[in-house]
Amino acid sequence: MSEQQNPRLDPPGSRDWIVAPATAAGSGAIAVVRLDGPGCWRAASKVWRVSSRSDELPASPLARRLTLGRLVDESGAEIDEAMVAFFPAPHSYTRNDLVEFQCHGSPAVVSALIDALLAAGARMARPGEFTLRAFFNGRIDLAQAEGVANLIASRTRKAGRAALRQIEGGLSEEVLSLRDRAIDLAAEIEARLDFPDEEIPPADRKKMLDAFESLETGIERLIATARKGRLLRDGARVAIAGKPNTGKSSLFNALLGIERALVTPRPGTTRDTIEATLDIRGIPVVLIDTAGVRSEGTGEIERLGIERTLREVEGADLVLFVADASRRPDDEDRKSLDALGSTRRIVVLNKNDLPPASDAAEGFSGLFSPSRDSSDRETETPVVRVSALQHATLQPLETALERSLTGTGEEASEREGTIVTNLRHEERLHVAIEGIRRAHDAFARRESGECAMIDLNEALDSLGAILGLTLDDAVLSRVFNRFCIGK
């Protein structure tokens, strides 16, 4: 890859010394500054002095041990008292020589240290450049590098664990094994290209058809985890809707654990939507409280509020439809339920602590009878009874929420440890499976092996691209520009 094509990326094996703060900007107890590149201790030794004895140069720092010393600038003026750790190649994050300084977390100290290292011959690192070097030096593949960015961006522990498994190579192993199986198939077909008229023995033919099928199943299984991966990465928008006074804002506050939204006994209290971000069973959720939907007795402000509710409902991944369990549902409940359109929902029968009206149960069973989805299948809308005033009753609601958002049947693959969390991987898996299906089809119809080979090669390239086996400047810069400086 040439620098001309993409000036943001250095060629593999670049020998520059690069430097960057690895901790976030601002004041803190400690800041970490990283320096990387072959022989970069030479730059480090210009700014680092052993303990208090003024000009003693560190001959050979102990590898991978923290050592206390002083930092000085190029004129010898003291910058800070700091710890240093030297990671000689190849046992470092990048596989190059790498030095980490732990200084006091003052922006002034960090910038003086970086200036001193720049004066000693280093240059500023670009976003993700340390990880890019780890990739170029073969320590991690591209999917693992993307796992690092995912881990840094993760908002919940579950998202973090999925990213960690990706860094550890969980996804890479699966993709490699799928790719190996595709290579085996390609080799079988290739071997027969020279003898097109020779009939493949039926037993071999059957074996190959089975191999195609199981390969497709393997890729499908991986693709099926992408929904959960998207959820962990982007989170879900969950709107709370229903007619006025059913306890939507109370539920919002209860799920959040703080009294954030106004609650009054008067219908029509909430006028504008309120959002808050929370972690529900490891899923990052943006929860939205909305104005109650009703058709009569509404002024201008409430009408605008209701318009907003409808917009939020439309854009939500899921709606918590709240009804008052203590009253018989009426026309307004039905109208606000109809207003949900096709958005997926959980029915929340709130105020379960109150005695129900004698005919309430019957009214609700008529209201929430199974609905039909786009392919006219009966879908079960989960119905959960809660009391927004009693936190313990919210557990089943959280379970229903988790189940609705993640879908069922994906837990198994999560246990095995692989979730596809990057859109790029999902796209590549789709291209791969299409290629394999076309090759499968050509083979099943006994077409010439050449056609199957073209499709199989496309699938192999696509699987290889997940791991970065084929280098593509545009993809690399897109991946590494997501990183922060210093990683």
Ligand X SMILES: Nc1nc2c(ncn2[C@@H]2O[C@H](COP(=O)(O)OP(=O)(O)OP(=O)(O)O)[C@@H](O)[C@H]2O)c(=O)[nH]1
List residues binding ligand X (CB under 6 A). Answer: 244-250, 263-265, 267-270, 291-292, 350-351, 353-354, 387-389
Least Cα distance to 270 among 313, 305, 319, 321 occurs for 305
Residue 225 interacts, among Mg ion, ligand X, none and using kind-specific CB cut-offs from 5 to 8 Å, with none
Stretch that binds Mg ion, among 146-154, 247-255, 366-374, 478-486 (CB under 5 A): 247-255
Nearer to ligand X, 284 or 292 (CB): 292
Nearest distance from residue 321's CB to Mg ion, in Å? 14
- Total count of residues recorded for the chain: 487
Nearer to ligand X, 64 or 303 (CB): 303
| Residue 59 near residue 164, CB atoms below 8 Å | no
Nearest distance from residue 345's CB to ligand X, in Å? 16
Strands 67-72 vs 78-87: parallel, antiparallel or unpaired: antiparallel
Nearer to ligand X, 333 or 414 (CB): 333
What residues between 417 and 456 interact with Mg ion by CB under 5 A? Answer: none
Residue 267 interacts, among Mg ion, ligand X, none and using kind-specific CB cut-offs from 5 to 8 Å, with ligand X
What is the distance between the alpha carbons of residues 222 and 272, in angstroms, rounded to a whole number? Answer: 41
Nearer to ligand X, 94 or 336 (CB): 336
Nearest distance from residue 322's CB to ligand X, in Å? 6
Nearer to ligand X, 109 or 388 (CB): 388
Residue 181 interacts, among ligand X, Mg ion, none and using kind-specific CB cut-offs from 5 to 8 Å, with none
Residue 249 sits in the site that holds Mg ion (CB under 5 A) = yes
How many Å from the N-terminal Cα to the C-terminal Cα in the chain? 22
Stretch that binds Mg ion, among 36-44, 142-150, 171-179, 266-274 (CB under 5 A): 266-274
Nearest distance from residue 260's CB to ligand X, in Å? 11
Nearer to ligand X, 156 or 387 (CB): 387
Nearest distance from residue 352's CB to ligand X, in Å? 7
Stretch that binds Mg ion, among 71-79, 268-276, 339-347, 402-410 (CB under 5 A): 268-276
Nearer to ligand X, 229 or 242 (CB): 242
Nearest distance from residue 336's CB to ligand X, in Å? 10
The residue nearest ligand X at its CB is 292
Nearer to ligand X, 150 or 249 (CB): 249
Nearer to ligand X, 290 or 421 (CB): 290
Nearest distance from residue 260's CB to Mg ion, in Å? 11
Instruction: With CB under 5 A as the rule, give the number of residues binding Mg ion.
Output: 4
Q: Name which position in 102, 225, 270, 404 contacts Mg ion (CB under 5 A).
A: 270
CA-angle at 390, arms to 388 and 396, nearest 5°: 80
Nearest distance from residue 353's CB to ligand X, in Å? 5
Residue 247 interacts, among Mg ion, ligand X, none and using kind-specific CB cut-offs from 5 to 8 Å, with ligand X
Nearest distance from residue 362's CB to ligand X, in Å? 21
Residues 6+ apart with CB under 8 A from 305: 270, 271, 272, 273, 290, 291
Identity at 197, one-letter amino acid code: D
Which chain residues interact with Mg ion by CB under 5 A?
A: 248-249, 269-270
